[in-house]
Amino acid sequence: MSFPKNFLWGGATAANQCEGAWNVDGKGPSCADVMTAGSAQKERINTRTVQEGVYYPSHNAIDHYHHYKEDIALFAEMGYKCYRMSINWSRIYPTGLEQTPNEAGLAHYDHVFDECLKYGIEPVVTLSHYETPLGLVDAFGGWKDRRCIDAFVRYCTTVMERYQGKVKYWMTFNEINCMSLNGWNAGGVIENDEATLMQAAYHQFVASAKVVKKGHEIDPENKIGMMYGGLFSYAATCNPDDVMANVTNMNSALFYCDVMCRGYYPAYKLKELERKGITLETEPEDAQILLEGKVDYLAYSYYMSLVAGAKTTGMDLATGNLYTGYTNPYLKTTDWGWQIDPVGLRISLNLLYDRYQLPLFIVENGLGAVDKKEKDGTINDDYRIDYMRDHITEMKKAVELDGVDLMGYTPWGCIDLVSAGTGEMKKRYGFIYVDVDDEGRGTFARSKKKSFDWYKKVIASNGEDLD
């Protein structure tokens, strides 16, 4: 048996991409609620405020807010051991600035967690998944301002106290390294300069560390992790210049893990900031907070691998919603240009386990593809099954042959939802099809794809039966 008995098989979603009900029961708008729909060719536009007559995919999404019972029942039918989801911060504190929470928002997640627990499904909660309340942007300009720390700690304390005994797995910020790439998604930061983004990242590190500490005080059973947006690249050639450039490329993202797993900034990052003339504004107590708030586990998303070299300028050549360099001639790509690399998953597991010696958790992986509904209503997504089989096979080798301590696997968008990168619905990841199109039209009816029964079998056999 390769996977441990208590391996957390499940699926993952984010509130802003599936809940809809964007202004229902007292919810305030978040950064996601002002992003228009786009496509692989057309960037999403940030309108900054909600504008009349503009279509925003997050506003209805797949209406998971009203369908959660049906959706969780389907997850249970697949045999999920856990469900990774996010709490929509602005349901709890509509602007982020209130001193008392919105009871209707809190009650909603009570129902969701109760529903999960009814089936023995362990909730795994992301506290902030691209969902900074817009009120914090209006008041402070988002996470570039230190005052966001208190707002976040207040929110996290509220939900950790409220759901004590119901939720024990938490993650602070989804893909925290996204701050280097897209400050708006990561924390409502509109500026694009490195100094501002690095300051915002610093605030999130301190906030996360405070929440880890607080979460352990609230319940020593709590396991609180970080979430890394899996950036993994190979050197373009064995030319030492390419190899060194790849080290630099990897460090540009891995430093986020270094800070959160080790509790301090790595030397290479301090030197880099110094060279660039970036001086972080800090408070004297921060260093101790970072040390005391190291995470319990490292969760990450893995979709693809990249290639970096001395000539990489970033944002060029290969596509994908992470920054990148060269294309890899050995790999195929998805229809959205993401390079498919199952062996890279095993490599990433080895790299991170060796570097941090912390339990790892794959909390996102999957294939975004256009699914075709046949006349008889079936959806034969063999391409998705193939993608997942290959990735699970490599994940298994990492556990069985390399001894990596892996907690679980939650494929992304286990039910079709809005794409974060493009705002499309047609970029589907789910085992469950949802009848909604790119303009938000449809019956919202759920149906099972072929991969549904396949994944059910995978879970039932604890990853042994992948056929």
Stretch that binds ligand BG6, among 235-243, 413-421, 445-453, 457-465 (CB under 6 A): 413-421
Instruction: Give the number of other CB atoms < 10 A from CB of residue 383.
Output: 14
Among 22, 300, 412, 454, the residue binding ligand BG6 under the rule CB under 6 A is 412
Could you tell me the smallest distance in angstroms from the CB atom of residue 422 to ligand BG6?
Answer: 6
Among 115, 242, 364, 416, the residue binding ligand BG6 under the rule CB under 6 A is 364
Contact 337, 358 (CB under 8 A): no
* Residues 6 or more apart in contact with residue 265 via CB below 8 angstroms: 255, 258, 259
Could you tell me the smallest distance in angstroms from the CB atom of residue 335 to ligand BG6?
Answer: 11
Q: Does 128 bind ligand BG6 (CB under 6 A)?
A: no
Could you tell me the smallest distance in angstroms from the CB atom of residue 277 to ligand BG6?
Answer: 31
Q: Does 168 bind ligand BG6 (CB under 6 A)?
A: no
d(CA 406, CA 299): 10
* Residues 6 or more apart in contact with residue 173 via CB below 8 angstroms: 126, 127, 128, 186, 204, 208, 226, 227
Closer residue to ligand BG6 (CB): 43 or 103: 43
Our answer to whether residue 364 is catalytic in this structure is: yes
Q: Does 143 bind ligand BG6 (CB under 6 A)?
A: no
Tokens 């509509």 belong to: 94
What is the pattern of x (binds ligand BG6, CB under 6 A) and - over residues 231-270?
----------------------------------------
d(CA 334, CA 426): 14
Q: Does 408 bind ligand BG6 (CB under 6 A)?
A: no
Stretch that binds ligand BG6, among 114-122, 268-276, 377-385, 420-428 (CB under 6 A): 420-428
Among 419, 431, 446, 455, the residue binding ligand BG6 under the rule CB under 6 A is 419
Among 59, 81, 269, 427, the residue binding ligand BG6 under the rule CB under 6 A is 427
Chain residue whose CB lies nearest ligand BG6 = 421
What is the pattern of x (binds ligand BG6, CB under 6 A) and - over residues 30-69?
----------------------------------------
Closer residue to ligand BG6 (CB): 79 or 368: 368
Closer residue to ligand BG6 (CB): 85 or 134: 85
Our answer to whether residue 131 is catalytic in this structure is: no
What is the pattern of x (binds ligand BG6, CB under 6 A) and - over residues 310-339?
-----------x------------------
Instruction: Give the number of other CB atoms < 10 A from CB of residue 406.
Output: 23
The radius of gyration computed from the CA coordinates of the chain, to the nearest angstrom, equals 21
Among 8, 14, 149, 352, the residue binding ligand BG6 under the rule CB under 6 A is 14
Q: Does 301 bind ligand BG6 (CB under 6 A)?
A: yes
What are residue 170's DSSP bridge partners?
A: 125, 224
Q: Does 196 bind ligand BG6 (CB under 6 A)?
A: no
Active site residues: 175, 364
Where does this chain bind ligand BG6 (CB under 6 A)?
A: 14, 17, 174-175, 229, 301, 321, 364, 368, 412, 419-422, 427
